[in-house]
């Protein structure tokens, strides 16, 4: 499955708005005591957004000549792997939902 830059940017913006839009997501990312699935998922999403933002920040510093190229490549690679993982999980969730919806009642 090929991911275009526009689709990746839209997914990133949607994830950033989800994590920054509520204080509950920020509280869940810091480690909630109950350990519910929603809190784990929220924490994972927040971590993914932070990884992608860190890659963007280092890339911007490299353009300005303030960062080491090795650090930039590692951060961008980590951000790419994170995005690929998020997309793969999304695809599995959609596939599971479609399978459930096709089950006879």
> Is the pLDDT at 25 greater than 50, yes or no?
no
| Percent of the chain predicted with pLDDT > 90 | 33
Q: Report the C-alpha gap between 15 and 78 in whole angstroms.
A: 17
pLDDT of 7 reads 62
Q: Report the C-alpha gap between 9 and 15 in whole angstroms.
A: 10
pLDDT of 35 reads 75
**Which range among 9-18, 33-42, 50-59 shows the weakest confidence by mean pLDDT?**
9-18
H/E stretch holding 94 reads: helix 69-101
Taking each helix axis from N to C end, the angle separating 69-101 and 5-20, rounded to the nearest 10 degrees, works out to 80
Across the chain, which distance is largest between two alpha carbons, in Å? 61
């Amino acid at each position: 499955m090929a991911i275009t830059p526009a689709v990746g940017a839209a997914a990133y913006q949607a994830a950033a708005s989800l994590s920054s839009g509520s204080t509950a997501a920020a509280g869940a990312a810091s480690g909630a005591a109950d350990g519910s699935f929603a809190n784990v998922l929220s924490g994972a999403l927040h971590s993914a957004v932070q990884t992608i933002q860190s890659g963007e920040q280092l890339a911007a510093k490299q353009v300005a000549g303030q960062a080491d190229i090795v650090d930039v490549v590692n951060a961008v690679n980590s951000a790419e792997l994170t995005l690929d993982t998020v997309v793969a999980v999304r695809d599995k969730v959609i596939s599971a939902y479609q399978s459930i919806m096709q089950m006879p009642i």
